[in-house]
Structure 1
Amino acid sequence: MNQDRRDRLRDAAVAVLAETGGRGLTHRAVDAAAAVPTGTAKNYFPTRDALLRGAAERCAEQYRALAAALAGAAPGPADAAQLAALLAGLLRDVAGPGRPRVLAYLELRAEAARRPWLAALLDPVAESDFAAYAHLLGAAGLPAGPGRASTLTLALHGAIPHLLTGAPATLAAAGLDDLDRFARDLLANVCAEANR
């Protein structure tokens, strides 16, 4: 099969999930989003589960590419200020160019609640965040125990739905109306016990 067309269909599936949610993910909708003849998606992904798998694999690839780009060749942020800037950049991506990927990923997580095979496929993406944030804390010279890494990871994951909906009052109440300040405050709170 043509890999470029397959990737185009997977990108279209991600776009459909982001725009219409899980209920809107159909072969016909993917064909339309990819601007290919009707029936093309069905040839590449014969079932809805195959479409879900393709979209999940694409989301995971995009996430890994973003993580690699943010990490670059450097060992990690050298201090708390650099880590805060990196975290704010991640959150800006969620609210900006990464929004479709993240919306699709959240739709896939909801589908995974009823499909164990999909949960197993997505689990490494979420699980890797805990180790990644522990590494970033340590690289920045901050306390990096499992508890702090979990707190940081879960706080960032918890911020995502609020950023996606963009409700101004909620963003202000959560401190997400200023992502630089939010990231600095989050790190200060996560590492507060070490500063006492």
Structure 2
Amino acid sequence: MLTIKLSKGPDAAEAAIRVALEQICQDQHAPQVLRDVNPAELKIGVHHQVYDLPVDSLLADQGLEAARLSSSRYLLAKGGKSLAAAEVTADGAGKKATFNLLNVGPFVEGFEKAVRAAEALPNGGDYSCQVLRIAPLYVLALWLKPLAGGDAILLPIHPAPAFLSADKYTQEDFLNALKPHAKTLITLA
């Protein structure tokens, strides 16, 4: 069975998220799921890094190596149910963090489902867990990197575009599935 090893996030991330949640949960325009929530009751957990892959890098066949770390993402839960995900950026030492965004949409549940699907894969070994984002294509994927070396596994996080119809991909197959749509996007721009 595949084992997912989660990384530790930046030291200052939780404090930055707590400050932002205090403001967000008190705002009359807060997302519905957070309106009646005491921010102190939200558990900040399940850290994973988010990498962004530019479309031009995808089309230049630069592979996933061209993806750049853009943020640290945390699930926010209450009573064992994830309600949202918060993203922060941090300085290189992890001592200063800035709150970036809060996601309360279907990708929160989609991430959890992708993790459960990954844990059920027959692949052996330990894998690190990241999220790969190709924003112009509306794609998020669970990006599992084997800690002992070898091929990465990518699982689309739903809702995913229809062109990502498989449950899991090798790096090569994933990038090949994206390229025709990236080319179309560039042609339309």
Give TM class, smaller chain: under 0.3
TM-score (norm 1): 0.26
More helix by share: 1
More strand by share: 2
TM-score (norm 2): 0.27
Which of these two proteins has the greater Rg computed from alpha carbons?
A: 1
